[in-house]
Amino acid sequence: MASTNDQPQQIGPYRLLQVIGEGGMGVVYEAEQKNPVRRRVALKMLKLGMDSREVLGRFEAERQALAVMEHPGIAQVFDAGLTDDGRPYFIMELVRGLPLLEFCGRHRLDTRSRVRLFGLVCDAVQHAHQKGVIHRDLKPSNILVMGAFDDPRPKVIDFGVAKATGRRLTDHTVVTTFGQTVGTLAYMSPEQAEMSGLDVDTRADVYSLGVTLYELVVGKVPLDPFEVGGPQFLARLLEPDLSMPTLSERLDSLEPADVERTERLRRTTLDRLRKELAGDLQWIVLKTIEKDRTRRYATANGLRSDLDRYLADEPVSARPPSVMYRMRKFTRRHRMGVAVAAAGITGLAVFGAAMAVQADRIGRERDRAVRETRKSAAVNAFMNEVLLAAEPLDGLGPDATILDALNWIVAESDGPFSDDPEVDSSVRHAVGAVFSQLGQLDRAEELLLDALDSRLEALGATHADVGSTLYQLGNLAVGRGDLDSAAVLLERALVVRRGALPETDASLAHTLTQLGYVRVNLGDAEAAEPHLDEALDIFRAQDPETVAVSEALNVLGQLHRLTNEPEAAEGYTREALEVRRRMYRAGHPKIAERLNNLAVVLDDDGRRAEAVELYREALEIYEDVYGPRSDVVAVGLSNLGLALTDLGEETDAEAAHRKALDITQEVSGPQSFNSAIQHNNLARHLCTYDGADEGLPHAEMAVGIGATAFEADSYINGVFMSTQGLCLDGVGAKARAEEVLLEAITVLENALGSDHPHAATARDRLADVRAG
């Protein structure tokens, strides 16, 4: 037995056999228990002299953390006590396994087998998070794998620096002091490395899982403190624009000895491995180790779900970085220019009253007007020539669609305007905006990003055209449901437009309105209201009877609905409706939009009978204008169905939801996001009225579509998971319902804030599960 004379040979019913692990504060023994059952166990005990209040607190916290968890992927606690000399110990399951990397290397597992095994690790970590425990030191050596290569059973161990969320693990005081890092450098999240310890949540473990997965498939961590040195590592990790090497880039940096070892342990060649790691798996890993934790997977289960989709050759939610990534890259390439541009905006704000500056600005405005006129004329002439051509376009047949023509325009713009980047970027901007309106978001994003790059290079970061493209990219992000990116893009557009345009310019007001809309939907009413008030003042000063005035009033109505001010919400929304009634003839679909929005406000205020009448009036207009089977009719039916559900009119509500789903699947396609919404709403209705057996498949369909259409941590997916949890509770799957609702709450609170109605609904459903 590996033991020293100052260590006991026997502790209670446990005979110590050998030391199997040792850390800073404790030592772990393999021990034999003789009664009441005979078995081998692991006994963890504090070292002599390690009896400070902090160490005792950490030791007790680890025992409590293990005690609250019960999962096949986490070592189980059996017993606890004190030695004769007063040192605490606890008894846990003896895990006879190999560290994760050693297991995979010894069995020469290929990439997919490694990913499959890693999914089981995610399950264990997800369970810990659901029990309110953050590990904070996840790494390959803290994951032991038992079993055969074709039946691996991983166990997460060493919760010695675990942190509780929402509960205290111990009555002892456990303090993470300022300046003290917790975790292992190579696997530590940036927020842990900041050393405050005050704002670390479950996404820190998600980051550590990502580094572990990176090393598991590549053979190296993305950033190695042993290669660059500890201080330099921390400095890199804390860089505001930290960008990790891709899997392929890290493979290419391997030393010859590492390449030989990797090929041998993986039974493959470097070229084959590089192909395996490209694409979806690469984006999954890079999403998991994002510096900005709001861009990571919100939960370990979200990561696991994407890995499952990768293994099943299904679309994953992780995507190549696009708008914000390109913006950060540009800022790094042109850091000085952007800084000077920002200073220039400030300077104009401070010294704008000076006569010399005024004269200069008048001159610039005159020159800009001349350039804009020339540019607009060139773009309009070219596009009109293409779209109104009597003969088919070169390379396109007589049956070419508008999308074909638009793509042809972009290709042709490389010719006539290749020597004029302003006109070329304007063509790309204009066509990108049209693609966005047509729902072709990927193509629109590609063109708008090209236009943005060209405009930034040619015109500088403060030019009005840059603000215009940023605004369009923000709108596109709204269309994707990526409200966080939309907020950043629209904020940047607002800064540029404030510096480049008159303070009464309508474009500035449109930016304020859209940014206000995004802030409202992110649950930040306080930030949204001044934007919307300013936009409304600008629009009203120009003309009080415009679409823009109605839009700003409508969003203000949404804002006061969010802040639970029904009287103000109704006032703004009714005014928005009246403006449209004065602008449009009776029966116009623009009036139906506002009728529908007013119905939502009344529905929220409990005035459901009034709301149903407005929903029916809007639906009648939609059916008259668009026909009985259009997407807007489906939306109207869905809203009506939700109100009828809440009103208790079960039969009519179900009929409305089923018709809405049928129309949407026909018009938008069975795998469209619109179909996911209708599946979700039908599921909500069925599971409210004891139809959970039929409702659950609809809820799961919505979750599946949402996972491929949006980021895993999008609030929309949180809404879908909340409905899924309701339905799982309805079929009696309490444990699964609790798991799904906990994940939904995490996503919704991270995306919208804990006070948002969607988050409150998910919490109420969780309370119902636990109460039942």
Delineate the domains of the chain, giving CATH numbers in brackets: 10-93 (3.30.200.20), 98-321 (1.10.510.10), 672-772 (1.25.40.10)
Do 451 and 417 touch, CB atoms closer than 8 A?
no
Dump pLDDT digits (tens) for 5-42.
Answer: 456 788 888 899 988 877 666 788 999 988 777 889 98
**What is residue 74's DSSP assignment?**
B
Tally of CA atoms within 13 A in the half-sphere of 319 that contains its CB? 16
Dump pLDDT digits (tens) for 237-260.
Answer: 877 777 788 888 888 888 888 888
Higher pLDDT, 521 or 586: 586
Whether residue 354 has pLDDT greater than 80: no
Tally of CA atoms within 13 A in the half-sphere of 720 that contains its CB? 29
Q: What is the pLDDT of residue 172?
A: 34
Whether residue 381 has pLDDT greater than 70: no
Do 704 and 735 touch, CB atoms closer than 8 A?
no
Do 702 and 683 touch, CB atoms closer than 8 A?
yes
**What is residue 393's DSSP assignment?**
P
Dump pLDDT digits (tens) for 32-72.
Answer: 988 777 889 988 887 776 555 555 656 666 566 666 677 88
762: its two tokens: 């998910």
Q: Whole-angstrom Cα distance, residue 518 to residue 555?
A: 10
Do 766 and 718 touch, CB atoms closer than 8 A?
no
Whether residue 231 has pLDDT greater than 80: no
Reduce the DSSP state of residue 172 to 3 states and report it: coil
Reduce the DSSP state of residue 337 to 3 states and report it: helix
Q: Whole-angstrom Cα distance, residue 261 to residue 352?
A: 65
Q: What is the pLDDT of residue 192?
A: 81
Dump pLDDT digits (tens) for 94-106.
Answer: 888 899 999 999 9
Neighbours of 765 (CB within 10 A): 23
Dump pLDDT digits (tens) for 735-754.
Answer: 999 999 999 999 888 877 78
Dump pLDDT digits (tens) for 557-589.
Answer: 988 887 778 899 999 999 999 998 988 888 888
Do 619 and 587 touch, CB atoms closer than 8 A?
no
Higher pLDDT, 315 or 269: 269
Mean pLDDT score, 313-333 = 56
Dump pLDDT digits (tens) for 724-735.
Answer: 999 999 999 999
Q: How confident is the model at residue 415 (pLDDT cuts 50, 70, 90)?
A: very low
Pick from 673, 612, 613, 692: which is nearest to 645 by CA? 612
Dump pLDDT digits (tens) for 683-710.
Answer: 999 999 889 999 999 999 999 888 876 6
363: its two tokens: 């001159």
pTM of the entire structure? Answer: 0.47
Q: What is the pLDDT of residue 180?
A: 35
Dump pLDDT digits (tens) for 454-484.
Answer: 888 888 888 999 999 999 999 888 877 677 7
Q: Which of 73-77, 101-105, 282-286, 349-353 has the lowest average pLDDT? A: 349-353
Tell me the H-state helices in 131-269.
190-193, 202-218, 225-228, 230-237, 247-252, 256-266
Q: Whole-angstrom Cα distance, residue 49 to residue 437?
A: 70
Q: What is the pLDDT of residue 613?
A: 94
Concerning whether 137 is annotated as a catalytic residue, the answer is: yes
Mean pLDDT score, 383-399 = 43
448: its two tokens: 């708008």
Q: How confident is the model at residue 162 (pLDDT cuts 50, 70, 90)?
A: very low
Whether residue 143 has pLDDT greater than 80: yes
Q: Mean pLDDT highest for which of 166-180, 197-211, 391-405, 505-519?
A: 505-519
Q: What is the pLDDT of residue 405?
A: 54
Do 725 and 735 touch, CB atoms closer than 8 A?
no
Do 214 and 289 touch, CB atoms closer than 8 A?
yes
Pick from 364, 461, 370: which is nearest to 378 by CA? 370
Do 526 and 489 touch, CB atoms closer than 8 A?
no
Whether residue 399 has pLDDT greater than 60: no
Whether residue 525 has pLDDT greater than 50: yes
**What is residue 144's DSSP assignment?**
E
Catalytic residue among 84, 137, 201, 646: 137
Long-range Cβ contact pairs of 142-146 (< 8 A, separation 24 or more): 143/99, 143/100, 143/212, 144/95, 144/97, 144/98, 144/99, 144/100, 145/97, 145/98, 145/99, 145/100, 145/103, 145/104, 145/117, 146/95, 146/96, 146/97
Q: Whole-angstrom Cα distance, residue 471 to residue 501?
A: 14
Q: What is the pLDDT of residue 376?
A: 54
Residue linked to tokens 């994003």: 445
The per-residue DSSP string of 431-476 comes to HHHHHHHTT-HHHHHHHHHHHHHHHHHHH-TT-HHHHHHHHHHHHH
516 burial (CB, 10 Å; 0-12 / 13-18 / 19+) is buried
